[in-house]
Structure 1
Amino acid sequence: MTEPSTLLLDAPSATAEPRDVPRRAASGAVRALGLFAAARLTGMLAVAAAAWLSGQRPFALLGRSWDSLWYLGIAAHGYGARTLHFEAGVVHSDLAFFPLYPALIRATNLVLPFGAAPCALLIAWASTLAAALGIYRIGALLHSRTVATLLVVLWGLLPHSVVLSMAYTEPLLTALAAWSLYAVLSGRWVWAGTLAALAGLSRPNGFAVAAAIVSTALYELIRRRGRVPHRLWTGALVAPAGWAAYVLWVGWRKHDLLGGYFAVQRGWGSTFDFGLGSARFAKKMLLNGDRFVFPMTLVIVAAALLLYALLLLDRAPLPLLVYSGVLLLITVGGSGFFESKPRFLLPAFPLLLPLAHALARTAKARPAHALLVVGVLAGLSVAYGTYLIVYAHTPL
């Protein structure tokens, strides 16, 4: 893996005052977070306006929709309180949902007198800002502050970025993933492993972070012929602990230690079939037609595959390639909930690095062109996000 220090494009000149470096870095981060917050606030205001005009409650849509209700139920009553039975073999159990987010909701609700749903939103919004800052730091480490700013803005303008304003776990996973990847890129192995373990407790696909840490540790082990510090071993061993612990706990509870959790997922219709289920659904959609959400999902997944190919061609650092590749593999290869696949890809922010880099070059040569691209993306993001939340009535 290329050393991150050799990838910096805007390192301060030798004549720059050392005390100016952190000041400039902080101002760049503040600017990026400000642009990101403006994008997300615009989206939330659009959702609020559309909700009020259609007789719906904005905060109910953001804080008590679809999976949010499952997390709130776990936070209030623990696991096992809610199981929905449908036709034979279809059982929706709350054991499918990982415990970190409900635990944070419960803890926050004990301290703040707002109620569970506002606490859930507060955690999601704080996690979104933490994720944006972590993404910025990775972009600045590998490229430049301009690329880092555009990377954050593009992440905030994804078609499904409205989920970042909801009581969902993607913001929490992305925050933990971004800072874990930043830690491993900068050689902080214990921090990387600890944050990866927490990411594994946040979502089923959170083990992508651990995969990135472990694979990078193995690479370093081979490259250095076994002469690695104990911190690397510690980080690599801790990284998968969170995901494995919850999967084994569910297995113990279901009296099938290794297979119990995956049986729960099968009850939800979620299995890994190397993309056969997704291919069948896409064929049905293309031949018979379907709602706007499903064709849009197909376009977003196809775009993600293209962006991953570009990330490979750019020879991105190994942790980013593994992390994004595992998230893509789970999304493309998994069956069930086809319309949720763009949401599953929200944490895969490294896919946007080639776009951010290209847009930075455009901004330098033709600022008006770059501004037009960002403006169009903002309009599409706000419009589609509002449609998803207020009008589509489709599970996210």
Structure 2
Amino acid sequence: MNDMTNVRSEVRDLKFGVVDLFCGVGGLTCGLEKAGLDVVAGYDLDATCEYPYTYNNHSLFINKNIEEVTGKEIRKLLRGYDVKILAGCAPCQPFSRHQKDKKDRSKHKDWKLLYQFARLVEEAKPHIVSMENVPELVNEKVFCDFVDTLKRLKYNVTYNIVNAADYGVPQRRKRLLLLASKKKEIVFIKPTHEQVVTVREAIGNLPPIGAGEENLIDRLHITSRLSELNLQRIQHSIPGGSWHDWPENLMLECHKKEKGQTYTSVYGRMCWEDVAPTITTQFTGYGTGRFGHPEQDRALTLREGAIIQTFPENYSFLPEGEAVVIKDISRQIGNAVPPRLGEIIGLSIKEHYTKRKYVRKSESIKKGG
């Protein structure tokens, strides 16, 4: 299916400029660029993201704390564009269901970053705002305040919880997507995939590799080592199963207790003909989720995780000659917005302007449209 079918060619006359907040290694930027938007710059506090961000995309990386960013500098970056867009995914750790202190999430150091996002919307006054995060955010006051701020600023706000698999991401990944427009209601394009993209379709063509090994051609096709005990465990694991399939001598003590019987989402193998589980920052660990390869006795490689996140197969995460640190790159990949979701966001924005017949009316847009 061609995603551009409903996006008429005339919309190309408009120049869409984007600033990507909390850009990380460039997942959102990569997808927006694929949709035909010009991402001028990405901001992130993590300097290690600069190489993958700039090497793979056509954007400037600005290593800066968002609290120090001003609306004036964002307006300057977006000068000359017909449609000015402020996008971003504030770090989701405070709102994730994996967050340890669920009773008082506001204690987390990143909890207030969405307020900074709202401040920049108010100062920069973009035509479009895009935000992506974990579904749990909808239950938090900070999200309600964010939406209220947008509405106070006369934005039309739409947000949905979507399963990324419905849009061609080969993993079971539910995300909160928000779009806000100064011009009428804005909606997301309909799901693009009636049939999911399976694990086999995503990574089935990659060369076999053993636990603790590295592919000589692609340095990111590398796996974590397994202890002898975990090697035995994965050898007794079946696709879609759990530790319940092991002989008793391989089980952990916690699994033998009544409470432990419910811990079925760890030490599992993926299924070839299904989507992968949600890729987290620890997807290279066999014991941290259902990240066992469907048939090889190991967890996912960095490259496999990146592909399941829908990064291009040749996406480079570190310079030639620099040592691969698995935990660092797995964190970057797991924290990223899947580029395919970024593409869907970009296509939704372009479709919005096509439907509203804003084509070739750049002057009215520049005046606040």
TM-score when normalising by structure 1: 0.28
TM-score when normalising by structure 2: 0.29
Q: Pick the structure with more strand per residue.
A: 2
